[in-house]
Amino acid sequence: MAELKNTFSWSFSAASDFEECRRKRYWGKYAMWGGWSKNASPLQRTAYRLNKMDNRYSLMGRATEDAVMWALRKAQAGGAPTVEEAYEAAARPMLNRAWKESKSGQWEQDPKRVCCLWEHYYGGAKGESKEWVEPVIEQTRTCIGNFLDRVLPRLAEVRPEQEVHIASPESGGEPECFEFEGIKIYAIPDYVYRLGDVWHIHDWKAGKAKPEHKDQLALYGLWAHTKHGIEAGKIMVFLEYLRDGVMAYEQVTEDMLEAARESVKMSVTDMADFLVDEDIQRNQALPKEDWDLALEPRSCRMCKFYELCEPELGQGKPQ
């Protein structure tokens, strides 16, 4: 079998990590590479394991997504799903499984398939606290309820045959992506369908609104335009803030697409500054020390790579 190559790629989340902390990008893209191999160094193994770590916010987002898609499928089959049904059928099993896996410690041997929660790994006694467990459950239920009340009625006429298949990381194989100027760009919208010749792209959000979410929608528009040839005026993008029951939407314009292209190019250029000879084809990282730590050290305490940076930070265990 040919050896896997760590090729340069770009995604909205990778760019966000890079902007937040250069070192975070180093651990998550370069130091972890090969950490799954039996010949990996201890540092590679640790970086790979930590890179797979979840936290309560990502867990809540996944539980919400599972539940709303379960509810959508039931409605398409003629049912009338309730919050309790969707939570019990999809969200609760996922949350319980993740909790049990994280507590089992089996993620040490199989971090790719077994969940490890930041709250258990770094949280100490607080990892068991109802201060975060109960709010996750309650907010997940709230998100499901707002989906059923405010979003599902707008999707009532959408049939499975109108949906556009999206390759997710959980489905195995290559996640949804497209090529832009020779670079693989990952873009994974939550739900996409066609009404006539217009594409509707939805992104579920279980948390609060952030300004950068609009940039994420523009990237999804660029995905539809570049990979599928859909013209700008026939792409609608929707942000569904399920916690607050609020929806924001836009019709994609040529200006939005051009802004997305420029944003990606600028980010790629900035990332290339931390590669040997700025060569993204070679994609060899500069030494760890050249990758700056976060400007705001307090943000490090919630980072999954804290263990690796702690000797330089000297802050002690996260609280």
**296 and 260 together in one domain:** no
CA distance to 44, 113, 284, 317, per residue, from 308 (Å) = 11, 22, 20, 12
Does 9 map to a domain? no
**176 and 260 together in one domain:** yes
**89 and 118 together in one domain:** yes
CATH code assigned at 178? 3.40.1350
**251 and 302 together in one domain:** no
pLDDT, tens digit (0-9, with 9 covering 90-100), for 123-144: 865 667 778 899 999 999 999 9
**72 and 177 together in one domain:** no
Tallying the residues shown for the chain, one arrives at 319
Of 204, 210, 181, 178, residue with least CA distance to 192: 204
**223 and 114 together in one domain:** no
**116 and 173 together in one domain:** no
**35 and 130 together in one domain:** yes
**28 and 152 together in one domain:** yes
Does 239 map to a domain? yes
The DSSP code sequence of 56-93 is HHHHHHHHHHHHHHHHHHHHHTT----HHHHIIIIIHH
What average pLDDT does the segment 159-176 reach?
90
Distance, CA of 92 to CA of 60 (rounded, Å): 10
Segment among 13-27, 49-63, 301-315 with least mean pLDDT = 301-315
| Domain interval for residue 256 | 160-272
- Report if pTM > 0.85: yes
CA distance to 15, 126, 202, 235, per residue, from 262 (Å) = 13, 43, 23, 19
Segment among 66-70, 123-127, 259-263, 278-282 with least mean pLDDT = 123-127
Report the C-alpha dihedral over residues 170, 207, 157, 78, rounded to 10 degrees. Answer: 70
pLDDT, tens digit (0-9, with 9 covering 90-100), for 271-289: 999 999 999 999 999 999 9
Q: Is 172 or 238 the better-scoring residue by pLDDT?
A: 238
Q: Could you give the number of structural domains in the chain?
A: 2
Does 2 map to a domain? no
Answer yes or no: is pLDDT of 319 > 60. Answer: no
**Helices 92-104 and 56-76, interaxial angle, to 10°?**
150
Does 6 map to a domain? no
Strand order in the sheet with 9-11: 9-11, 183-186, 177-180
Answer yes or no: is pLDDT of 298 > 90. Answer: no
**265 and 201 together in one domain:** yes
Distance, CA of 8 to CA of 15 (rounded, Å): 12
Instruction: Quote the pLDDT of residue 53.
Output: 97
Q: What percent of the chain has pLDDT above 70?
A: 96
Answer yes or no: is pLDDT of 316 > 90. Answer: no
**237 and 292 together in one domain:** no
Answer yes or no: is pLDDT of 242 > 80. Answer: yes
Instruction: Quote the pLDDT of residue 130.
Output: 76
**102 and 170 together in one domain:** no
Supply 317's token pair: 């265990």
Does 101 map to a domain? yes
pLDDT, tens digit (0-9, with 9 covering 90-100), for 187-237: 999 999 999 999 999 999 999 999 999 999 999 999 999 999 999 999 999
Residue 239 phi, psi dihedral angles, 5° rounding: -105, 120
Does 308 map to a domain? yes
Q: How high is the mean pLDDT of the chain?
A: 94
Does 3 map to a domain? no
Instruction: Quote the pLDDT of residue 275.
Output: 98
Does 292 map to a domain? yes
Of 243, 248, 193, 194, residue with least CA distance to 216: 248
